[in-house]
């Protein structure tokens, strides 16, 4: 590869480039490189569900093996989102197996398709701000419940970390996250109704 | 913070987990995670273990994956396995073809006769007779002798020996012999004689097989001539197996001597011939898949038509459901399982019973509390990933107690989302917790 100056090194290729490369040449190394980019995330998700290190490590390997087989079955546009869904499904399936009376798991194709077609939509507050929408956003924030309002303001407008918000408001981190999530949800509802009014 | 390659690296996670970031950096990182649910989930997982354990595990995983790479040339193995399977199937098929005795016997008889005819030719050439009549007589004699030889050969699994000499080979051999015997170099005459002799041969063959055929009305096997030569306490049961519903033959029907491994299979016309040692002791069992089995006592030289009836027993129908979408873009249905799964509500990991025990353990009142026990009724809302999106106080329980309840639930095990019609969905459920004083 070093002989040809225009060929990018594997590390610099984008996900879709690596995927295309794999489909053309069928080299396992290419797939391995792609997987290793997100392997830490797969491990993290497994840890979240299993809470055990060994089980999670085994799952990471199993998911890679599954990936090798499934990669031909779908048209994958966004590798990262697809990998996320596959990992979550694998974890949920494993957890269901430990319960008696339940055996196999069918994944819904539409669910898979959604993640393949596009990246998930971002909440307005997470997006780069657009003119006009900012005003609506501020109005909606005003309407929030006290704690949700405060958390959102501290997090998004004063750029405070969860830790700081915890100490300022005397709340636990889980609660802070919860208020932020609920606040975002209410904001979304409020913004959508405002959009409908226009 | 966001890297050019659009995802957050391990180093950044490590820095966050080891508290090496400033508060501003932390906020930026946390805000970034709001945009990436995959990373967000991963972080929750990472927070279960220590940062050092995390880096060890990830390094271990990296080496495991690299080791895996060369072995996993999946497609090549599949191709090789399929190829081997085809080859072995082919070999097996050829073996079975050779071993199958019944349909070949008429042919073998013809071949035997040709072999026979070869010896005839040699006889002729040796004795220099050249006359048709004499040769006919001699041929007949030879055929009788040959029949003896043949039956002995038949006592063991026979057909292999007979099949080996090829027709074509023999025919070419006979011609030069003839020419030799005539001592003439006149090829026309020789070929004429050859033709004549061949015709004679054919007639002889036909005659013998007619003879053989004449002895049993239906059997395709001309082995009846051999009856006399078999040991006296052995009999041969011949017959035809048909289906009673439509009078069609049942090829592949199994005909067995009851209680033994002696058996045979009906040919493509339903015909069979089974040799048995002792006519009085064993019955004969005739069976076919999906039909009721028949039994009968054979008598020597009997030719039976066995009719089988469809069995009343039927196997349970099994329906395999395949989920296929009606989206036009889809090229193949993605199915990971063939069995539909039961719907299930949202449940805590580890089971509801274990969860109840956990609740009981945690829901303890202080000694100096005003009442002996307090009941709290809450509504828990879940999203389609099983995460708790809200907890509502349904029975207006005391704020402190409710707060404790929320904490207990959040500190408890994770939940799997409700599963309905093959999909994870949002759901909510009510839960009642009774706080009591410790005994």
Q: What is the pLDDT of residues B209-250, one digit of tens each?
A: 444 444 444 444 444 444 444 455 678 888 999 998 888 999
Placement of tokens 């001309």 in the chain: B222
Nearest to B266 by CA among B245, B284, B246: B284
- Binary contact (B330, A109; C-beta < 8 A): yes
Task: Compute how many other C-beta atoms are within 10 angstroms of the C-beta atom of residue B241.
Answer: 28
Q: What is the ipTM of this complex?
A: 0.83
Instruction: Determine what percent of chain B is predicted with pLDDT higher than 90.
Output: 25
Among A residues 19-38, those touching chain B with beta carbons less than 8 Å apart: 26, 28-29, 32, 35-38
Q: 0.90 exceeded by the pTM?
A: no
> How many Å lie between the alpha carbon of A99 and the closest alpha carbon of chain B?
8
- Tell whether B60 lies on the interface with A, counting CB pairs under 8 A: yes
pLDDT attached to residue B340: 57
Q: Which stretches of chain A are assigned E, i.e. beta strand? A: none
Query: Does B287 score more than 80 pLDDT?
Result: yes
Q: Using CB atoms, pick whichever of B30, B70, B349 lies closest to residue A161.
A: B30
Q: Does residue B59 sit at the A interface (CB-CB below 8 Å)? A: no
CA atoms within 13 A on the CB side of A196: 6
Q: Which residues of A touch B57 (CB under 8 A)?
A: 43, 53, 56-57
Residues of B in contact with A46 (CB under 8 A): 45
The answer to whether A187 contacts chain B (CB < 8 Å) is: no
Under the banding of pLDDT at 50, 70 and 90, the label for residue B200 is low
More confident residue, A167 or B152: A167
Which of B11-20, B107-116, B183-192 has the lowest average pLDDT? B183-192
| Least confident range of B110-114, B160-164, B283-287, B429-433 | B160-164
B37/A159 Cβ within 8 A: no
In chain B, the percentage of residues whose pLDDT exceeds 70 is: 59
Question: Is B330 part of the contact surface with chain A (CB cutoff 8 Å)?
Answer: yes
- Chain B contacts in chain A segment 37-76 (CB below 8 A): 37-49, 51, 53, 56-57, 60-61, 64-65, 68-69, 73-75
A contacts of B45 (beta carbons < 8 Å): 43-49, 56
Note the pLDDT of residue B43: 93
A87 pLDDT band, cuts 50/70/90, is: very high
Closest residue in chain A to residue B350, using alpha carbons only: A99
- CB atoms A32 and B45 under 8 Å: no
Name B344's bridge partners: B419
Q: What's the gap between Cα B101 and its chain centre?
A: 27
End-to-end CA distance of chain A, in Å? 57
Q: Note the pLDDT of residue B95.
A: 92
Tokens of B353: 């019973």
CB pairs under 8 A between A and B: 178
Put simply, the answer to whether A36 touches B336 (Cβ < 8 Å) is no
B397: left (phi over 0), alpha (psi -120 to 50) or beta: beta
Contact status, residue A106 vs residue B323, Cβ threshold 8 Å? yes
- The larger pLDDT score, comparing residue B73 to residue B153, is at B73
* Token pair 């053989």: residue: B212
Between B55-64, B163-172, B387-396, the lowest mean confidence (pLDDT) is in B163-172
User: Which residues in chain A have Cβ-Cβ distances shorter than 8 Å to B70?
Assistant: 28
A164-173, B208-217, B233-242, B427-436: which has the minimum mean pLDDT? B208-217
Window A:81-100, CB contacts with B under 8 Å: 81, 83-84, 88, 92, 95-96, 99
The whole-angstrom separation of Cα B344 and Cα A102 is 10
Q: At how many degrees (to 10) do helices B23-35 and B10-17 cross?
A: 130
pLDDT confidence bin for B115, thresholds 50/70/90 = low
pLDDT for the residue A25: 84
Q: Is residue B66 within 8 angstroms of chain A, CB to CB?
A: yes
Q: Does B343 touch chain A (CB under 8 A)?
A: no
> Within a 10 A sphere around the Cβ of B33, how many other Cβ atoms?
19
Alpha-carbon distance B331 to A75, whole Å?
9
The sign of the CA dihedral B405, B411, B416, B417 is positive
pLDDT value at residue A79: 87
% of residues, chain A, pLDDT over 90: 21
Would the CB atoms of A126 and B70 count as touching at under 8 Å? no
d(CA B219, CA B159): 18
State the pLDDT at residue B276: 84
Q: Is the pLDDT of residue B172 over 60?
A: no
Of residues B421 and A111, the one with the higher pLDDT is B421
Contact between B271 and B220 (Cβ < 8 Å) = yes
Separation CA A130–CA B307 (nearest Å): 86
Task: Name the packing angle between helices B187-215 and B105-127 (round to 10°).
Answer: 140
Chain centroid, CA B349 distance in Å? 37
């Amino acid at each position: 590869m070093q002989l040809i100056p225009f060929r990018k090194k594997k590390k610099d290729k984008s996900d879709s480039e690596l995927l295309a490369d794999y489909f053309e040449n069928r080299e396992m190394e290419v797939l391995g490189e792609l997987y290793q980019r997100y392997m830490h995330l797969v491990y993290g998700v497994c840890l979240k569900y299993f809470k055990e290190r060994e089980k999670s490590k085994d799952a990471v390997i199993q998911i890679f093996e599954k990936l090798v087989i499934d990669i031909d079955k779908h048209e994958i546009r966004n590798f990262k989102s697809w990998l996320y869904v596959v990992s979550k499904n694998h974890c949920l399936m494993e957890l269901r197996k430990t319960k008696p009376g339940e055996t196999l798991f069918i994944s819904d194709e539409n669910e898979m398709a959604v993640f393949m077609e596009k990246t998930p939509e971002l909440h307005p507050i997470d997006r780069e701000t657009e003119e006009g929408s900012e005003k609506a956003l501020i109005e909606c924030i005003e309407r929030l419940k006290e704690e949700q309002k405060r958390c959102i303001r501290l997090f998004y407008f004063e750029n405070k970390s969860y830790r700081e918000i915890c100490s300022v408001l005397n709340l636990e981190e889980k609660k802070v996250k919860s208020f932020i999530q609920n606040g975002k949800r209410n904001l979304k509802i409020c913004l959508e109704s405002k959009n409908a009014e226009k | 913070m966001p890297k050019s390659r659009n995802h957050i690296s391990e180093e950044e996670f490590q820095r966050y987990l080891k508290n090496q970031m400033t508060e501003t950096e932390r906020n930026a990182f946390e805000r970034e995670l709001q945009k990436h649910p995959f990373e967000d989930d991963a972080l929750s997982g990472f927070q279960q273990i220590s940062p050092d354990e995390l880096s060890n595990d990830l390094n271990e995983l990296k080496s495991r994956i690299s080791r895996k790479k060369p072995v996993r040339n999946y497609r090549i193995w599949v191709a090789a396995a399929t190829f081997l399977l085809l080859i072995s199937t082919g070999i097996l098929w050829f073996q079975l073809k050779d071993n199958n005795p019944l349909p070949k016997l008429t042919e073998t008889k013809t071949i035997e006769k040709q072999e026979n005819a070869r010896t005839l030719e040699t006889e002729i050439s040796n004795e220099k007779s050249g006359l048709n009549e004499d040769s006919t007589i001699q041929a007949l004699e030879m055929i009788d002798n040959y029949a003896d030889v043949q039956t002995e050969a038949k006592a063991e699994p026979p057909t292999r020996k007979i099949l080996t000499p090829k027709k074509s080979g023999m025919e070419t051999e006979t011609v030069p012999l003839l020419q030799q015997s005539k001592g003439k170099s006149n090829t026309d005459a020789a070929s004429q004689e050859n033709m004549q002799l061949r015709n004679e041969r054919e007639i002889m063959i036909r005659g013998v097989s007619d003879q053989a055929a004449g002895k049993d009305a239906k059997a395709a096997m001309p082995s009846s001539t051999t009856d006399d030569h078999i040991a006296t306490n052995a009999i041969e049961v011949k017959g035809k197996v048909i289906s009673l519903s439509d009078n069609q033959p049942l090829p592949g029907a199994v005909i067995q001597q009851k209680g033994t491994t002696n058996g045979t299979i009906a040919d493509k016309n339903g015909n069979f011939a089974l040799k048995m040692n002792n006519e009085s002791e064993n019955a004969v069992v005739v069976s076919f898949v999906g039909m009721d089995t028949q039994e009968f006592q054979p008598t020597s030289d009997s030719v039976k038509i066995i009719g089988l009836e469809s069995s009343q027993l039927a196997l349970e129908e099994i329906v395999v459901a395949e989920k296929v979408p009606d989206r036009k873009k889809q090229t193949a249905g993605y199915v990971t399982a063939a069995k539909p799964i039961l719907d299930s509500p949202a449940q805590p990991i580890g089971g509801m019973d274990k969860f109840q025990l956990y609740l009981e353990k945690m829901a303890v009142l202080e000694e100096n509390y005003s009442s002996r026990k307090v009941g709290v009724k809450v509504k828990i809302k879940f999203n389609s990933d099983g995460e708790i999106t809200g907890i509502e106080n349904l029975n207006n329980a005391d704020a402190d107690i409710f707060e404790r309840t929320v904490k207990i639930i959040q500190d408890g095990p994770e939940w799997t989302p409700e599963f309905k019609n093959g999909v994870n969905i949002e759901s909510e459920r009510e839960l009642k917790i009774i706080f009591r004083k410790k005994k």
